[in-house]
Chains A and B, each alone.
Chain A
Amino acid sequence: MLAQVPAILIDGVMAASMMFIIAVGLTLIYGVMKILNVAHGSLYALGAYTAATFAGLWLSGGHAPLGSYAVLVASAIVVGLVTGPVIERGLLRFMYGRDEIVLVLVTYAVFLVLEDLTKLVFGVDPLLVAEPYGLLGNLDIGPLTYPTYSVALIGVALIVGAVLAFVINKTKAGKMLRAVIHDREMSAAVGINVARVYLVTFTVGAMLAALGGALTAPTTSVQPGIGAEKIVLAFAIVVIGGLGSLGGAALGALIVGIVQAAAVHWKPELELFSVYIVMAIVLIVRPKGLFAIPEARKI
């Protein structure tokens, strides 16, 4: 049983890196805007479909295979830049100040619209563009072989986390962001352009969801329903870590990844429930998650 621990840790960290990229966008939007964005799953799917389509075109056009990685990232950026402002400026800004439940329902409606839109644009056949997955070769870690691509994703997740942490904690923009998190009205009163902060935050969050989809696309078959699958898991991660917490998203992803891998190796029949068992335990012990952001008391 202990012999499987290294494999569990490696599999867990690899799975966590992918999930972190998606969950961190969700937690960022919630932290700043107090919106539990159900449409995040659709943005993930849209990123995956767009990346798979354009990477497929790139490769079938006979271009340099390594360039397909740039295509994946560019697809995510384009999806984020288009959908983020459209959803935030076109819909969400009219809903600010309403109950959080209303906003959940609004983003759920966006989720349903985007799901159908994705099917309308990309069809219902699964898309398979696996070439970038195998392009970097394999790495032997102990007795097991892993694609270098999966190892590289760990690096991408670390970079995403580090950049976000730096921007939030060490820059002027980050200070304004934190001010908005603590008190939107006071921030507006002192001259911070809250509307712009919201727009940028939602666009970056959408971009991260799309990036998660785009980088996952070469490892899987992009098919209808992948968005719903991921949003459930991303919710579990941010709930475990604490809604709105960057560190919480990282820890939540790590817990979910390792718990799932341990279940697969030791008790496959429990894999289906393992994440939710952990989530239930965490919520019993810490109802607001492991790293819930303390709320400023308002007078």
Chain B
Amino acid sequence: MKYKRLTEVLKSLLTSTLLLASTGALAQQAKPIKIGFVTFLSGPAAGPFGVPAKVAAEAIVESLNAGSAPPPYNSKGFGGSPLELVVIDEAGGATKQVSEYRNLVERQGVDFVIGYISSGDCLAVAPVAEEMKKLTVLFDCGTPRVFEEASYKYVFRTRPHATMDAVAAALYLLEKSPTTKTYGGINQNYAWGQDSWSDFSSAMAVLKPQVQITSSQMPKLGAGQYGAEISALLGTNSDVIHSSLWGGDLEAFMVQAGPRGLFKKSQLVLVAGEPYLHRLGPNIPDGTIVGARGTHGVFAPDSALNNWLKSIYKAKTKFEPNYPAYSVALGILGLKSAYEAAKLKKLSSSIPMGENKGVKEEMEKAYALGASQEEVIAAFEGLSFQSPSGRMRMALGKGHQAISGTAYGTTKLVNGQVTVVNIRQYPAESVQPPEGTASLAWIKSGMKAKK
């Protein structure tokens, strides 16, 4: 028994050493891993989301290929195999993305796909990934419908879905302003805005049923002008204004609503406001409740991984990484964790313990082969991995959907700089439904945390 355990320990040590020592001859033989990376390079989502995601992906891949990431990601590439990115523009709608996806798999011959910021694109591409049997990591889209309405073998999402953004916003708001009686909303008229409003208003109805909705404004994506919406919201005298606006739309709304006194009348809740704090500066009023769609940005833990992401991103842009950059890190590091776990398992089982000859040859053979897609999928399901945003657990969607805690805070202008104070962390189970329960049903049933 003791001998068996010792054998296992030895095997693990040998294989781990081999993975980490990937600068050697074995790594040089390793075949590059081609990753299709899909993000917005044009259109309104390119500036705030798509391009920062691309910059982050390139910075992370460069750092991983150089083996300069901190542990546990300090092996080169994926288990010694260098990474190559094939970047594709996500703009153009779901139909175009399905064609682009097929091109990536059939013509470009990518090994994995990481991508998709738009919820619509995620919903369209997931069944195609399943049909084409290609491991695909959704890195940023928020809709809970991906794994609540379907079950996938080849699709994973390494960031939590959007339900927690709305639920935590409602919890934070009622902790900060328990006397809230009325609220209105301004959200973009597409899946993200509609879901955000629906989840937030449902959570508010559960947490404080007597609170009244005054107005729900749904301007179209990229509208840019909100004069009438601001007049309508001013006319309601709401205690609170909820908004999931992002990018230029959020900035335009803030610039237009501030001078008209909307924020003097109403407490503002910005579900996705954190990445714009430094840009908006004095245009964002003190006391605004802001989130970052997870423990990203100012809410990220102080860790070597977080510092690494900040330094490699700033080296390319001179700016702090925003939450899409953190989401990309989750996607790539999650896949790396799964790949290396699968390879480690394969290597360990390939070592012919008890024989004196052929150990090196057998390991080299196994190493050169790398982990198969099926092995990576098996390792990915239910995986728990470290990231710059803290620990992610693939706990929903039969082990394909990540969960994590989230955080909210309040803005405060200090020496001309917008800071976030009164940060409150929410554990994963308190803001996300348990496995097998749809988000909206869970919210409406009282948002009970799993015991």
B256 interface residue, CB < 8 Å from A? yes
| Bound-complex Cα distance A10 to B230 (A) | 12
| Bound-complex Cα distance A145 to B247 (A) | 25
A223 interface residue, CB < 8 Å from B? yes
Contact B259 A11 (CB under 8 A): no
Knowing A7-B235, A223-B247, A224-B46 are in contact, say whether A268-B216 is a contact too (CB < 8 A). yes
Contact A225 B43 (CB under 8 A): yes
- Where chain B touches its partner, the secondary structure class is helix
> Which one of B219, B223, B231 has the highest number of Cβ atoms from chain A below 10 Å of its Cβ?
B231
Contact partners of A128 in chain B: CB under 8 A = 251, 255, 279-280
Other-chain residue from B217, B235, B247 in contact with A126 (beta carbon distance below 8 A)? B247
Q: Mark B141-153, 1 if CB is under 8 A from A, else 0.
A: 0000000000000
| Bound-complex Cα distance A212 to B22 (A) | 58
Contact A125 B47 (CB under 8 A): yes
Contact A221 B225 (CB under 8 A): no
Contact B48 A126 (CB under 8 A): yes
Q: Mark A205-223, 1 if CB is under 8 A from B, else 0.
A: 0000000000010011111
> Which one of B215, B217, B227 has the highest number of Cβ atoms from chain A below 10 Å of its Cβ?
B227
Q: In chain A between 268 and 286, which residues have their CB closer than 8 angstroms to a CB of chain B? A: 268-269, 271-272
Contact A145 B224 (CB under 8 A): no
Other-chain residue from A134, A150, A226, A269 in contact with B218 (beta carbon distance below 8 A)? A269
Q: In chain A between 229 and 282, which residues have their CB closer than 8 angstroms to a CB of chain B? A: 229, 260-261, 264-265, 268-269, 271-272
- Where chain A touches its partner, the secondary structure class is helix
Contact B224 A143 (CB under 8 A): no
Q: Mark A110-152, 1 if CB is under 8 A from B, else 0.
A: 0000010001000111101010011000100001111100100
A31 interface residue, CB < 8 Å from B? no
A36 interface residue, CB < 8 Å from B? no
Contact B235 A220 (CB under 8 A): no
Knowing A124-B46, A264-B217 are in contact, say whether A8-B228 is a contact too (CB < 8 A). yes
Knowing A220-B256, A221-B251, A223-B248 are in contact, say whether A15-B225 is a contact too (CB < 8 A). yes
B189 to chain A, nearest CB (A): 6
A124 to chain B, nearest CB (A): 4
Other-chain residue from B42, B222, B229, B250 in contact with A264 (beta carbon distance below 8 A)? B229
Contact A221 B260 (CB under 8 A): no
Other-chain residue from A124, A138, A221, A264 in contact with B252 (beta carbon distance below 8 A)? A221
A18 interface residue, CB < 8 Å from B? yes
| Bound-complex Cα distance A115 to B42 (A) | 10
B261 interface residue, CB < 8 Å from A? yes
| Bound-complex Cα distance A124 to B217 (A) | 27
Contact partners of B260 in chain A: CB under 8 A = 138, 144-147
Contact A12 B231 (CB under 8 A): no
A14 interface residue, CB < 8 Å from B? yes
Contact A220 B225 (CB under 8 A): yes
Contact A268 B222 (CB under 8 A): no
Closest to B262 in A: A145
| Bound-complex Cα distance A123 to B51 (A) | 10
A60 interface residue, CB < 8 Å from B? no
| Bound-complex Cα distance A202 to B234 (A) | 41
Other-chain residue from A119, A134, A221 in contact with B249 (beta carbon distance below 8 A)? A221
| Bound-complex Cα distance A223 to B228 (A) | 21
B44 interface residue, CB < 8 Å from A? yes
Q: Mark B296-339, 1 if CB is under 8 A from A, else 0.
A: 00000000000000000000000000000000000000000000
Q: Mark B209-243, 1 if CB is under 8 A from A, else 0.
A: 00000011111101111011101101100000000
A115 to chain B, nearest CB (A): 8
Contact B232 A265 (CB under 8 A): yes
B246 to chain A, nearest CB (A): 11
| Bound-complex Cα distance A197 to B225 (A) | 35
Contact B225 A219 (CB under 8 A): yes
Q: In chain B between 245 and 276, which residues have their CB closer than 8 angstroms to a CB of chain A? A: 247-252, 255-256, 258-261
Contact B259 A134 (CB under 8 A): yes
B384 interface residue, CB < 8 Å from A? no
B12 interface residue, CB < 8 Å from A? no
Contact B232 A225 (CB under 8 A): no
Contact partners of B231 in chain A: CB under 8 A = 7, 10-11, 144, 261, 264-265
Closest to B224 in A: A220
Contact A15 B46 (CB under 8 A): no
Other-chain residue from A115, A145, A223 in contact with B261 (beta carbon distance below 8 A)? A145
Contact B255 A272 (CB under 8 A): no
B406 to chain A, nearest CB (A): 25
Other-chain residue from A4, A115, A219 in contact with B255 (beta carbon distance below 8 A)? A219
Task: List 14 additional contacts besides A220-B225, A223-B247; criterion CB under 8 Å.
Answer: A7-B228, A7-B232, A115-B42, A124-B41, A125-B47, A138-B259, A144-B234, A144-B260, A220-B255, A223-B47, A224-B43, A229-B223, A261-B231, A268-B215
The interface of chain A, by Cβ under 8 A from chain B, is: 4, 7-8, 10-12, 14-15, 18, 115, 119, 123-126, 128, 130, 133-134, 138, 143-147, 150, 216, 219-226, 229, 260-261, 264-265, 268-269, 271-272
Would you give 29 A-B contacts (Cβ < 8 Å), ordered by A?
Answer: A8-B228, A11-B231, A15-B227, A124-B51, A125-B51, A126-B248, A128-B280, A134-B259, A143-B234, A144-B231, A144-B234, A144-B235, A144-B260, A147-B259, A216-B224, A216-B225, A219-B225, A220-B251, A221-B224, A221-B252, A222-B248, A223-B248, A224-B46, A226-B248, A229-B223, A261-B227, A261-B231, A264-B228, A271-B218
The interface of chain B, by Cβ under 8 A from chain A, is: 41-44, 46-48, 50-51, 189, 215-220, 222-225, 227-229, 231-232, 234-235, 247-252, 255-256, 258-261, 279-280, 283
